[in-house]
Every structure is written in C-alpha cells, then in structure tokens.
C-alpha cells in the first residue's frame, strides 16, 4: 500500500519584494517546510508566497488511490487566514475549515494522477500552515508546520546553540514580567508600560508587550536577569518583534544592551530617519551614519506582522552583522574597514563591545511612540536561525 505524505512549502519575501508579489506571485521558493502524513490516499503539496496581510497558495494533489470522477479536498487553517479568490477549483470557507471542489475541466483524477489549483487570501495576526488535509473524506496527512516553525517553550535551536537566554514567555504566570524578566526604567520613568500579553503571540499563548511613549522620560524595558559577561567570543541574538508604528524620523531604541566597554552605557538597536540603526550611548555614534548614503543602506521595519531580527556582535574585534527576516542589512555590517558615510563614525572607537545584559522595551528621545511585542528570544555563543 502506498504511503501518503503531506508537504507544505512556504517562503516569505524580502521587504523590497512585497509590492512585486501582488502582480507576480510565481517567485522562487526561499524556504521549505515538510511534514509527513500518516494516512493513505494522497499527497498534497501546498506552496505559498506571503506578504504582510496577504498570501497566495499553489496546491498540488496526487491521488494515491483508485481513479476519481470528481474530487473534494478539505483542510483546516492554523491561523486567521481568509480565502478571497481561487482558480481551477471552487473554494469555500467556514471558519478555519476550507473545502476545494473540482472545476468541470479537472474532475477526473486518475490513480497516480495529479491536479493543481490555487487561491489567494488575507491574514491579520497569524498565517500558520494548514492542517488535516483530506481527499474525498480520506485523510492525506497530519499536522503541517509553517516556516519558520514557532519556537516551543524550550526551543531545540536554543539548546543546540548553548543559549544563555531562551524565552518564549510561556513560563510567565501574570501580567507583570517576573522570574527571568524584570521591569526596569533606565534613566527615568514615565508613561511607558511593559506587560505579559496573552492576546498576541508569535508562538504559544504569551508574548511581551511594550507600550512605548514619546518623550525622554518614558523609558521602559523588560530586562533579562541573565549575566551575559561570559557569552562569546561572538554573541548571537535572535528575536521576534512586531511593531504597530513605523520607525520615526527621531531617534528611538527598542533593544538595549549594557556594554562593559562603555562603562555600562548601552549598545542600542532602534531607528532614526525611518530606518533601523545601531546607536552607542557613550558617544552617540550611529550605524549607519545618518547621511543619505548611510540611511539608504539600512531598512524600514514593516508593521502589523512579526519580524525575525537577528544580529551578532564580536567581542574581540569591531565586527557586527544584522538581519531582518534573513535578509542582511548592508548598512549594519561592520567588518573593521571604514566606509565613508556608513561606518566611519562607528569605527572611530577601537574597543569592541562587551554586552553584559539584554533589555527589550522602548526609549524615545523626543518624538516617537509605539506599541510593540517581543517573542521567542534567544541569545547564545552559537548562531541561532529564524
């Protein structure tokens, strides 16, 4: 008896390609996730192109049973996807349950034969892969995993990387950060708030929510209690972050790392002139420099969806790299060789950073407020992927 399989492929597009997706969705696959089914009857390949708030899916069904004259494929979405149109099949949806029925021209499906159809849809908070495919009532497989796979309470990649911090906040029991996370307000405290949120999460049921206020004295962070002084020689960080508001023109910070090489002053990740940047508190140096050439080599941050932010800091040399959704940000790459209008200001300081702690929150230096969330935070001495 033929054994079935279910394959789900998903690739997320880089930020610069989102507009192109609307008119040209047949783009190369960037990442693939597969899950094997346990029942007989068919093989389903579900391949998506996804952008903020929308997606298309191309679906191929292979019949592993007897020939069919008329077919019906059913599945369940794991997020809040809504199908808006389809081609080569009649697709209907009730809640998270979706049914696709053959069109007149592709009703016959031979034993071992395949049929292809597609659909377009929207999503708001989650676009998890579909589960529980069935062809004419016969299950095709089990649960499929999206890409990237949501990180469990003790993520395998955290353990594999020897992570010092490995948190998806599922161990938090109240609304006030506790245990490995404590609320702090460096410099001064105002209207900013940080809470454990159960209404929005990348994985599981909890995340860290920050209501960041504009104005210098509204600093608020959740600080990890873990000492990072011995992590290295390269410090690798991965987190999910979701912004409500675009990065402003003024300077803001949402990740702050006390730095022993600056006497405890912070190494900061934030934004300025609408683009992602690093900032060094001791001399206010920025990476990239806030010149038109420097800012053009950075990137804005999308709003209303989860981003994967990764970076690495060499504690033995002036070397840093930063990625957003696995796309490296050219203007945030330090290799020790100064580039005019980009990293010359940053490299004026010869001592490499030595982070000692991690803080997640919001710090504004004038204008700029935001509501943002953090989830699946990992930090260690080995690379940790999205």
Could you tell me how far CA 344 lies from the centroid of its own chain? 30
Cβ neighbours, 10 Å, residue 201? 24
Domain boundaries, given as residue ranges, for the chain? 5-139, 156-380
Q: How far apart are alpha carbons 314 and 237 in whole angstroms?
A: 12
pLDDT computed for residue 181 by the predictor: 97
pLDDT computed for residue 123 by the predictor: 84
Backbone phi and psi for residue 92, each to the nearest 5 degrees, phi listed first: -125, 160
Same-fold call for 5-139 versus 156-380: no
pLDDT computed for residue 47 by the predictor: 80
pLDDT computed for residue 37 by the predictor: 30
Question: Are the beta carbons of 127 and 79 closer than 8 angstroms?
Answer: yes
Backbone phi and psi for residue 332, each to the nearest 5 degrees, phi listed first: -110, 25
pLDDT computed for residue 143 by the predictor: 32
Beta strands in 244-385 (DSSP E): 252-258, 266-272, 275-280, 285-287, 306-314, 320-324, 327-328, 359-364, 370-380
pLDDT computed for residue 129 by the predictor: 76
Tell me yes or no: is domain 5-139 CATH 3.40.50.300.
no
pLDDT computed for residue 24 by the predictor: 28
Could you tell me how far CA 96 lies from the centroid of its own chain? 23
Q: What is the pLDDT of residues 177-228, one digit of tens each?
A: 999 999 998 877 778 899 999 999 998 899 999 999 888 778 899 999 999 9
pLDDT computed for residue 56 by the predictor: 81
Strand order in the sheet with 181-184: 181-184, 220-224, 359-364, 252-258, 266-272, 275-280, 285-287
Please identify every stretch of the chain with a pLDDT value under 70, giving residue numbers as ranges: 1-40, 141-162
Could you tell me how far CA 141 lies from the centroid of its own chain? 27
Beta strand pairing call for 5-12 and 42-51: parallel
Angle among Cα 37, 58, 70 to the nearest 5 degrees reads: 75
Report the candidate in 373, 346, 377 with the shortest Cα–Cα distance to residue 362: 373
CATH classification (class only), 156-380: mainly beta
354: which residues sit within 8 A by CB, 6+ positions away? 229, 259, 260, 261, 315
Could you tell me how far CA 372 lies from the centroid of its own chain? 13
279 DSSP β-pair partners: 268, 286
């Amino acid at each position: 008896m033929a054994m079935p399989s279910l394959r789900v492929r998903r690739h997320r597009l880089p930020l610069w390609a989102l507009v192109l997706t609307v008119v040209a969705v047949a783009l190369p696959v960037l990442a693939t996730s597969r899950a094997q089914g346990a029942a007989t009857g068919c093989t389903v390949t579900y391949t998506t192109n996804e952008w903020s708030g929308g997606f298309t899916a191309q679906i191929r069904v292979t019949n592993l049973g007897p020939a069919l004259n008329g077919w019906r494929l059913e599945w369940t979405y794991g997020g809040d996807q809504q199908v808006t149109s389809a081609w080569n099949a009649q697709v209907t949806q009730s809640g998270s349950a979706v049914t696709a029925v053959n069109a007149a021209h592709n009703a016959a499906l031979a034993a071992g034969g395949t049929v292809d159809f597609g659909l377009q849809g929207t999503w708001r908070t989650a676009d998890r892969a579909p589960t529980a495919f069935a062809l004419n009532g016969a299950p095709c497989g089990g649960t499929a995993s999206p890409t990237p796979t949501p990180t469990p309470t003790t993520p395998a990649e955290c353990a594999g990387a020897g992570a010092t911090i490995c948190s998806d906040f599922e161990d938090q029991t109240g609304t006030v950060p506790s245990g490995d996370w404590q609320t702090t307000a460096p410099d001064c405290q105002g209207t900013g708030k940080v809470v454990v949120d159960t209404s929005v999460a990348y994985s599981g049921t909890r995340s860290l929510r920050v209501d960041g206020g504009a104005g210098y004295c509204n600093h608020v962070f959740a600080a990890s209690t873990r000492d990072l002084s011995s992590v290295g020689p390269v410090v690798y960080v991965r987190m999910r972050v979701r912004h409500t508001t675009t990065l402003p023109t003024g300077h803001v910070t949402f990740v702050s790392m006390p730095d022993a090489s600056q006497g405890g002053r912070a190494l900061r990740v934030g934004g300025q002139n609408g683009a992602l940047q690093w900032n060094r508190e001791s001399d206010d140096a920025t990476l990239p420099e806030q010149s038109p050439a420097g800012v053009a080599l950075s990137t804005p941050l999308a709003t209303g969806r989860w981003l994967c932010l990764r970076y690495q800091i060499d504690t033995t040399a002036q070397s840093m790299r930063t990625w957003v959704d696995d796309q490296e940000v050219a203007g945030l790459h330090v290799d020790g060789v100064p580039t005019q209008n980009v990293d010359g200001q940053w490299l004026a300081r010869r001592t490499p950073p030595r982070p000692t702690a991690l803080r997640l929150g919001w710090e504004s230096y004038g204008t700029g407020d935001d509501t943002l969330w953090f989830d699946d935070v990992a930090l260690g001495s080995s690379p940790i992927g999205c």
